[in-house]
Amino acid sequence: MPPNATFINTGRGGTVMEDDLVEVLRSRPDLTALLDVTEPEPPRPESPFWSLPNVRVSSHIAGSIGNEVRRLAEIVIEEFQAWESDRPLRYVVTEAMLETMA
């Protein structure tokens, strides 16, 4: 990568050779990585992604910016409040659904 470049992954964590990425980021502090996805997701607690100063890990928002980020936050808050109050959730994800979801 050219000097001061930024690597962005908003696709799938499994498409990146993460061990190699960590090695490059350690040896090239001029580079930055913005990771919306990792493998696994989220990274394990011991993952170097959490401690490397030139890496930013976001929750999986697929690079969203603007009004959709606000709406995503509103949905999360509404779902949490419903869960906290023992009300039905609008966007339940079951274990069976996880087998077919992207």
Task: Give domain limits for the chain.
Answer: 6-57, 67-98
Burial per residue of 59-92, b for 16 or more beta-carbon CB atoms within 10 angstroms, e otherwise: eeeeeeeeeeeeeeeeeeeeeeeeeeeeeeeeee
Determine the pLDDT at residue 23: 98
Per the prediction, the chain carries an average pLDDT of: 89
Active site residue 12: yes
For a pLDDT cut of 90, what percent of the chain falls above it? 61
Specify the higher pLDDT residue, 71 or 21: 21
- Which tokens hold the place of 80? 């949490």
Active site residue 28: no
Q: How confident is the model at residue 3 (pLDDT cuts 50, 70, 90)?
A: very high
Over residues 54-96, the pLDDT tens digits come to: 999 987 766 566 777 788 888 889 999 999 999 999 988 888 8
Handedness of CA 93, 94, 95, 99 (dihedral sign): negative
Select which of 12, 70, 71, 87 is catalytic.
12
Select which of 56, 60, 87, 90 is catalytic.
60
Asked if the model's pLDDT at residue 5 lies above 70, the reply is yes
Instruction: Tell how far CA 9 is from the center of its chain.
Output: 9
Determine the pLDDT at residue 90: 93
